[in-house]
Amino acid sequence: MTNAVSDTTTAAAPRAGFVGLGLMGAPMAANLLRAGWQVTAWNRSTAALDSLVHAGATRAATVAELRDEPTIVFMLPDLGYIETAAQPLLDAWRTTPPAPGTAVVVMSSVSPERIRGFGQRVAEASGGNAVVVDAPVSGGTVGAEAGTLAIMVGAEPEAFGRLLPLFEAMGTTVRRMGALGAGSLAKACNQLIVGTTTAALAEAAELAERSGMDAGALFEVLAGGLAGSRVLDVAGPRLVAKDYTPTGPAKFMAKDLSFVLESAERAGSAAPLATAAREIYQTLIDQGLGEKDLTVVRETISRLGHIPAAP
């Protein structure tokens, strides 16, 4: 009796392919396993894939081996990487189309404009049987590991409903923001707030310390007032300690802010803060700091020097 129940449960377990086991992807895929999903994964380097297989996942030798999975998640640095990785999959679908309702779920931060074009190419290659859903996340490696990510979804209502159990295995705040591209636009807005707030906190820390004030004490009092925020809670201690150990490379913020500017131009919306922040994070990259944590923006601001005091 027990064995029969176990076999039935295994057979009925939901399935997903997963591509990209980096700082975010690896814990996200692990949470799917913990939630009872059968995960078949591919990753360019083997160490993270070996670890996930040890936890119960199945190894895919190529991305094309995921062609029969009902859902395929991509968590790679940018859409260019995803398009390259997905090409063998699309080639396989041109020969043998996938089952209707197959979903390609892009959970990376990508261009809201370009993701729509990718959706068209996937639809054409799959004979209309596969749909692209953009579902970028926020919460960093801490949220990825804890399964508490915020997930912003661009999808039609039916696809969103089918994929909700997948998202709920990785996040606690899941919202459909609109059709394809809306999830990426929501993430761009998220990054506008995170990027500018982190830079403002870094600037405040530099100003405080150059003026002889304890930046840690400043942040404690700010946290109790209107300036308090989740960004302050997470980034504040790192900014004070000048701890730039990467939880996610800072260089990606420049990319994300470029998506804000791209979307703002399309919508005819002014974006002065995004423009200024994009310049700051590009300077960060030019200074060779792009692989460090986002909080390294404090070092960037420090290197810009200070305005001499008036005589």
Q: Which residues carry out catalysis?
A: 187
Distance (Å) of CA 76 to CA 25, 118, 155, 279: 8, 15, 19, 24
Alpha helix (H) residue ranges in 96-174: 112-125, 140-146, 157-168
8 A C-beta contact, residue 106 and residue 133:
yes
Q: How far apart are CA 239 and CA 90, in angstroms?
A: 44
Q: Taking the CA atoms of 281, 287, 290 and 295 in sequence, report the sign of the dihedral they define.
A: negative
8 A C-beta contact, residue 111 and residue 80:
no
Q: How far apart are CA 72 and CA 258, in angstroms?
A: 27
Pairing of strands 137-138, 149-154: antiparallel
Tokens of 227: 């300036």
Q: How far apart are CA 10 and CA 7, in angstroms?
A: 5
- Dihedral (C-alpha) 158, 163, 167, 172: value to the nearest 10 degrees? 40
